[in-house]
Amino acid sequence: MTTTTPARHRADRAPRLRRPRSVVPLVVQAVIWLGAAGVVGLWWSHTASVVGAGAWLTDAGRITGLLAGYACAVLVALMARVPLLDHSIGTDRLARWHALGGRYTISLILAHTLLIIWGYALTSGDGPVSQTSTLVFHYPDMLKATAAFVLFVVTAFVSARAARRRMSYETWHYLHFATYLAVFLAFFHQLSNGADFVGHPTAQAAWYTLYLGVAALIGWYRFLVPVRRSLRHRLRVADVRHEAPGIVSVHLTGQHLDELNAWPGQFFRWRFLAPGLWWTANPYSLSAPPLPRHLRITVKATGKHSAALAGLRPGTRVWAEGPYGAFTAARSRSRKILLLAGGVGITPLRALFETLPGEVTLIYRARRPQDMALCAELDSVAAARGAVVHYVAGEPATSRSPLTASALSSLVPDLAAHEVYLCGPPGMTDTAKQALRDAGVPRRHIHHESFEF
């Protein structure tokens, strides 16, 4: 089934300012690599000469340990939810950097552990098992480091995609907090045993500054700011409305909500202070443009937490962390915009559909017509601004699926000249990105934020 709301008039013909591309991602990457170079320089400055296999292995263990310690601080900083990074780089991109960096960090930790044990064993003439026992039980702070090692390995395991698919977002989220404890426990053995720190107060001061700075970012942006904002804005549930089978909109009211500086396309992490819900904060996008006293999210029941939102009562207190994400109008540099939604991925695109300037086309795909939410609003917005909406329902394998280059090009003339905002389930978005690339849309013109954990 395909239906279309045709354009009735062309609104918003005011010339649009071209926004320069953010240099923040490049600057952040440069700073990270410069920091890594500084760590290598620290090792180099404290290494006079390396003689013998044991010394080579030990020094390799030293440098991998230093880099692992530095990488731990970087990984935590990337997830500190610093607004400058989140709004210019994007939450999903930061998460990808974090995941990639996490794999390198675990590799460095494993290499550091094995190389140090092997190098010390060759130097002392003991076997690896005996040397491991000596290190763990007779070196300062090594019991803490051993506990940290176990926590790092467990966290790496639960962060693997195959393991994540078998657990809820809430379980994964709280298990991931173990990395904070692991970083804390591992910190002390670096200063107690590291040849680059023992007797080197300047190096120790630099390491303390790095870790305390990251701790300050976490404490401020992940704890103090959310608490302060929740007390300031006093969000409450105003109403819960059913939009489609298993889909509800939660309307929220509060004070001074314009001070949040939220933009259409962004999301918050919502903590509903109701039985069974208060202990976790889940990410949901705004499904309508934010107003000074009103916010709205639209949620599909995909787990216990999201399903429970249908039972929220008016007056329930809400704590909101955010706004987060760079899936906003700031990314667009063209007057021709395509919004491509799959299923409940319509939620951030609904808010963008009303507010993005230029000539906007929306393609909304779902398996069944009854699974489509907010259609009356979409039609109203389309009529008001002269936009085009295509509703497409059917299984992905049918010929009516729009997720091919030819189908998209037939629905959207001059597709290659469009800026594309894409949101939907992972399989759908992967297929759509490839189809858009095959249709000639430049990669830099395809904007997508994944809300998977």
More confident residue, 255 or 396: 255
Q: Which residues pair with 360 in a beta bridge?
A: 337
The tokens describing 105, both together, are 């960090």
Distance from chain centroid for Cα 95: 4
CATH 2.40.30.10 domain position(s) in the chain: 234-324
Is the pLDDT at 16 greater than 70? The verdict is no
Please answer whether residues 43 and 207 qualify as being in contact, where contact means their C-beta atoms are separated by less than 8 angstroms. no
**CB neighbours of 320 closer than 8 A, spacing ≥ 6?**
226, 229, 230, 233, 235, 252, 260, 268, 269, 270, 271, 295
pLDDT > 90? residue 437: yes
26 SS3 class: helix
pLDDT, tens only, 301-341: 887 888 899 999 999 999 999 899 889 998 888 899 999 99
Going by C-beta distance under 8 Å and a sequence separation of 6 or more, which residues neighbour residue 169?
280, 282, 303, 305, 453
Between 170 and 264, where is the model more confident? 264
pLDDT the model gives residue 311:
93
Confidence of residue 11 (pLDDT cuts 50, 70, 90): very low
Report the candidate in 79, 137, 135 with the shortest Cα–Cα distance to residue 112: 135
Element (H, E) at 263: none
CATH topology of domain 234-324: Elongation Factor Tu (Ef-tu); domain 3 (2.40.30)
Range with lowest mean pLDDT among 9-18, 67-76, 178-187, 421-430: 9-18
CB-neighbour burial class of residue 161 (10 A; exposed 0-12, middle 13-18, buried 19+): exposed
- 226: CB partners within 8 A, 6+ apart: 319, 320, 321
- What integer pLDDT is reported at residue 297 of this predicted model? 96
CATH 1.20.120 boundaries in the chain: 24-229
Region(s) of the chain under CATH 3.40.50.80: 2-17+333-448
pLDDT tens profile 378-403: 999 999 999 999 998 875 544 456 78
pLDDT attached to residue 247: 93
Burial of 262-301, coded b for 16+ CB within 10 Å and e otherwise, reads bbbbbbbbbbbebeebeebbbbbbbbbbbeeeebbbbbbb
For 342-356, write each residue's pLDDT tens digit. 988 999 999 999 999
Q: What is the pLDDT of residue 376?
A: 94
Picking from 394, 385, 337, 340, the residue whose alpha carbon sits closest to that of residue 367 is 394
pLDDT value of residue 248: 95
Residue 26 identity:
L
What is the spatial distance between Cα 189 and Cα 109, in angstroms, rounded to a whole number?
13
Q: Cα–Cα distance between 128 and 398 in angstroms, integer?
A: 60
In the chain, the percentage of residues whose pLDDT exceeds 90 is 62
Q: According to the model, what pLDDT value does residue 165 have?
A: 67
pLDDT digits (tens, 9 = 90+) for 42-60: 989 888 777 788 889 999 9
295: left (phi over 0), alpha (psi -120 to 50) or beta: beta
Write out the two tokens for 423: 């949101």
Residues in Cβ contact with 38 at an 8 Å cutoff, skipping those fewer than 6 apart: none
Q: Which CATH architecture has domain 24-229?
A: Up-down Bundle (1.20)
2 bridge partner residues: 392
Query: Can you say how many angstroms the Cα of residue 356 is from the centroid of all Cα atoms in its chain?
Result: 23
Average pLDDT, the chain: 87
Percent of the chain scoring above 70 in pLDDT: 90
Overall average pLDDT of the 240-256 stretch: 94
Q: What is the H or E stretch that residue 174 is in?
A: helix 169-176
| Tokens of residue 162, six digits | 């195959």
Q: What single string gives the DSSP state of each residue in 34-72? A: HHHHHHHHHHHHT-----SHHHHHHHHHHHHHHHHHHHH
Rounded average pLDDT over 69-80? 94
Distance, CA of 109 to CA of 66 (rounded, Å) = 10
Please say whether the structural domain 2-17+333-448 has been given the CATH code 3.40.50.80: yes
For the segment 183-226, what is each residue's pLDDT rounded down to a tens digit?
999 999 999 998 889 889 999 999 999 999 999 999 999 899 98
Sorted by sequence, the CB contacts under 8 Å of residue 208 that are 6+ apart come out as none
**Residue 269, strand partner residues:** 283, 321
Provide the pLDDT confidence category of residue 89 given band limits of 50, 70 and 90.
confident
